Amino acid sequence: PISKMSEAYDKFICYFKLDKEPVRVCVTGAAGQIAYSLLLRIARGDMFGADQPVVLHLLDLDFMMESLNGVVMELDDCALPLLFAAVATSDTAVAFKDIDYAILVGAFPRKEGMERADLLKRNVSIFKTAGEALNTHAKKTVKVLVVGNPANTNCLICQRSATDIPAANFSCLTRLDQNRAQVQIAKRCDVGAQYVSNVIIWGNHSSTQFPDVRFSQVQVGDTSHLATGLINDDTWLKGDFIKTVQTRGAAIIKARKLSSAMSAAQAIVDHIRDWTYGTAGDSWTSMGVVSDGSYNIPAGLVYSMPVRISSAGQYQVVQGLEINDFARQMMDATAKELVEEREMALQFLS
């Protein structure tokens, strides 16, 4: 029980002589398939490093508790030195108590025949409740990553419902789209994905997103090249490349009969690690953040943009990138979809 953690923690620190206090991380939808791929990654140090102990707060619905307790048993059986404790609960007051990070994976899934308005209506309630509970129980410095779809608008509702937590502490996951785009470029250039940098995902985590490689760099040997120059195929870059990234999730569902889980978990790890420790050098990453009006994106939308992150974990939107006519058209189209989602969600919220 969370009430016994303080006493147990004191004993833990005394016994292990830790240099760092455990980081408290809440994962919602914790009995689901994404969480099943994610939790081990967090608990063994992939997200926060090999010297950072963690406490996992695992939240799911009442009817999922038996399954979630089984997940906790498995985590115990991994005998992980960095896992101080794992708490399974269906109570947001327990799940969000004094947490440092909230990874909101759980959301109402879109079912066959469901209209987008119906999906938004169900999720507005979920993320309004989550935002209010975070506001009441979490640290005011908590960083919140929304994964459950529609992620951008769910993040917007959650952020607006947590009035005492800074807007900059909320983001939604578009790192999965960035990783997908990065791999497509890497394959085209016959290099490893780690040699591709500065791919941008603009906009919504949906089929209107704009994967932008105009500024992407590809390292070949000791030399860095623009991806567009190496590929030298504008038709592919504006056609099949964009379509592949936009529809990758649907393609995986068609192939697996299940949504992306392993790759989503990896993207979550990448996102939180960069948001905690910063991006390297002049490189940037893509995050869905609350727009400040940069690049003529309506202020207040949760819109994916390129950001640089300091070693203290503070992000800044990359400024001064040239927006050509094609990019403007693509960016405005995904912004239009997000404005429509926002207005629909706010109508339900009111």
Residues with catalytic roles = 205
Phi, psi for residue 65 in degrees, rounded to 5: -65, -40
- According to DSSP, the residues that pair with 307 across neighbouring strands are 285, 317
The H or E element that residue 155 is part of is helix 151-161
- How far is residue 192's CA from residue 51's CA, in Å, rounded to a whole number? 28
Task: Please name the residues in contact with 222: beta carbons below 8 A apart, sequence gap of 6 or more.
Answer: none
Residue with tokens 């607006």: 160
Evaluate whether 122 touches 154 at the Cβ level (below 8 Å). Answer: no
- Nearest C-alpha neighbor of 143 from the set 235, 259, 26, 297: 26
Give 170's DSSP letter: E
The H or E element that residue 25 is part of is strand 23-28
In order, the DSSP letters of 38-62 are HHHHHHTTTTT-TT--EEEEEE--G
77, burial (CB in 10 Å: exposed 0-12, middle 13-18, buried 19+):
exposed
Helix (H, G, I), strand (E, B) or coil at 201: strand
How many beta carbons lie within 10 A of that of residue 264, not counting itself? 23
Evaluate whether 175 touches 266 at the Cβ level (below 8 Å). Answer: no
Q: Which two tokens stand for residue 101?
A: 């990070």
- How far is residue 308's CA from residue 314's CA, in Å, rounded to a whole number? 8
Task: Please name the residues in contact with 103: beta carbons below 8 A apart, sequence gap of 6 or more.
Answer: 25, 26, 27, 28, 38, 145, 147, 268, 272
